[in-house]
Amino acid sequence: MKLLQNLFDGMKPNFEKGGKWEKFHTLYEGHRTIAFAPDSITKSKGTQIKDATDLKRVMITVVIAMIPALLFGILNIGHQHFIATGGEGTFLDKAIFGALTVLPTLIVSYAVGLATEFTFCVIRNHPISEGYLVTGMLIALVMPPFIPLWQVGLATVFAVVIGKEVFGGTGMNILNVAMTARAFLYFAYPAQISGDLVWTYLGDKAAVDGFSGATALAVAYNSSIDGTPVVQALSSHNAALGADYSFMSMFMGWIPGSIGETSTLMALIGAVILVATGVASWKIIVGGFGGAYAMGLIMNAFEVNQFMAMPAHYHLVMGGLAFGVVFMATDPVSAAQTELGKWIYGILIGVLTVIIRVTNPAYPEGIMLAVLFMNVVAPLIDHYVVKANKTRRLQRATV
């Protein structure tokens, strides 16, 4: 490691004040602190020792929690491809096919995002923050497998600049950056990110007869039009091809969808990692699932159409709810920041997701809009929680 240290030391004069690359000082620091935890020490006043955990470790924890979803996503894309094209694929075939589809998206997301981030850090002379470690992975995981790479790049630039940097960078953003990327694509290029054909990557092959690429949510929505019970419609979907939308296959995630969002199980594994490490708020996660389930039950009570009559627990495994609740809603910067606020925020995300799904034909996937909407509302929730705290303090004074 001495070698690497010497390499950095050798470059250092160029980046110091008066050096030829002075402007890029922040890039030097950024890379050095990734290779080596810095040798900085505490000041003479204030705490003389500091906790061994820093923001980099917090962020990498989130990335690690997403890895099961990523790996499953890679495998599932291969799996879906072979179902749709009718071929027989081994585990390895599926994994390789999936990796070749997903990795370019992941690379583009990280490369473009980091380049944007570095540019801003140099212009503003900010330290490079580790926030993009998480965002880069999230953006890739919420993309449909079929997405053109230039769209991934464009959405990433939009999200990093408009979603984060204009507010002052990491820690200052109002909206979840990855959701901003996804929402940008949704509204800028609706043709490529909605409909039945974008969720399964066919490659150069044609779909087999009888294959329908509709997502579970689309199937459920259609059944409310033609009046078949949703569970029946879901389980008969593509059943001839050996794939269906039964509760179990949706829970496991063997369904078409965005790269990392299909598997509820993998999201739950991520949730366990995040909650056990204390990095994400369990209140938001429990609130999100609970809110969705409760709203599902309320829909059941009214039962105006078949979608509303769908068993409430189906909502938890369909679409990107689990992924969104676990990884998106818990982003501490854009979520509610008070403890009571986190409950309210989480529950409302679940409730809104189900309402949007069931009642709005234009947006069969509700989680994206629910999270973004609640990001905007979160400061308002916090405002009232904070106000209650102030009021308690004031009331105490008169006693």
Partner 1 sequence: MSKIVKLTKGFDLKLVGKAPLELVDVATVTTFAIKPSDFPGIQRPKVLVNEGDTVKAGTPLLLDKAMDQIIYASPVSGEVVEIKRGDKRKLLEIKILADSTITYENAGALDLNQDRATLVAALAASGVWPHILQRPFGIVANPADTPKAIFVSTFDTNPLAGDLAFALQGQERYFQAGIAALAKLTAGKVHVNVDGSKPVAAVFSGVNQAQTNQFSGPHPAGNVGVQIHHLDPINKGDIAWTMSAVGVVQLGKFVLEGIYDASKLIALTGSEMAKKGYVKTFTGACVSTLLEGNTAAGHLRVISGNVLTGEQVANNGYLGFYHNQLTVIPEGEYEEFLGWLKPSATKLSFHKAIGMFSFLRKGEFKVDTNTHGEERPFVVTGVFEKVLPMDILPTYLFKAIVTEDFDEMEELGLYEVIEEDVALCEFVDPSKNELQKLVRNGIELLMYS
Contact positions vs partner 1 (CB under 8 A): 1, 4-5, 33-58, 60-61, 64, 127, 129, 131, 168-172, 273, 276-279, 281, 332-333, 335, 337-339, 342, 382, 385-386, 389-390, 392-394, 396-397
Q: Which is nearer to partner 1, 23 or 387 (CB)?
A: 387
Q: What DSSP character marks residue 208? A: P
| CA atoms 110, 82, 198, 252: torsion sign | negative
Q: Cβ(250)–Cβ(318) under 8 Å?
A: yes
Q: Which is nearer to partner 1, 240 or 380 (CB)?
A: 380
Interhelix angle 25-35/91-124, rounded to 10 degrees, is: 140
Q: Which is nearer to partner 1, 131 or 213 (CB)?
A: 131
Q: Which is nearer to partner 1, 36 or 91 (CB)?
A: 36
Quote the CA–CA distance of 78 and 200 in Å, as a whole number.
Answer: 9
Tell me how far, at minimum, the Cβ of 38 lies from partner 1, in Å.
6
Angle at 199 between CA 311 and CA 135, to 5 degrees: 90
Q: Which is nearer to partner 1, 3 or 191 (CB)?
A: 3
Q: Which is nearer to partner 1, 170 or 180 (CB)?
A: 170
Tell me how far, at minimum, the Cβ of 36 lies from partner 1, in Å.
4
Tell me how far, at minimum, the Cβ of 220 lies from partner 1, in Å.
35
Tell me how far, at minimum, the Cβ of 109 lies from partner 1, in Å.
20
How far does CA 302 lie from the centroid of its chain?
Answer: 32
Tell me how far, at minimum, the Cβ of 248 lies from partner 1, in Å.
30
Quote the CA–CA distance of 130 and 239 in Å, as a whole number.
Answer: 45
Q: What DSSP character marks residue 338? A: S
Cα-only R_g, the chain: 23
How far does CA 336 lie from the centroid of its chain?
Answer: 17
Q: Could you tell me which of 368, 292, 370, 280 has the C-alpha nearest to residue 66?
A: 280
Tell me how far, at minimum, the Cβ of 8 lies from partner 1, in Å.
9
Token reading at 258 = 């965005």
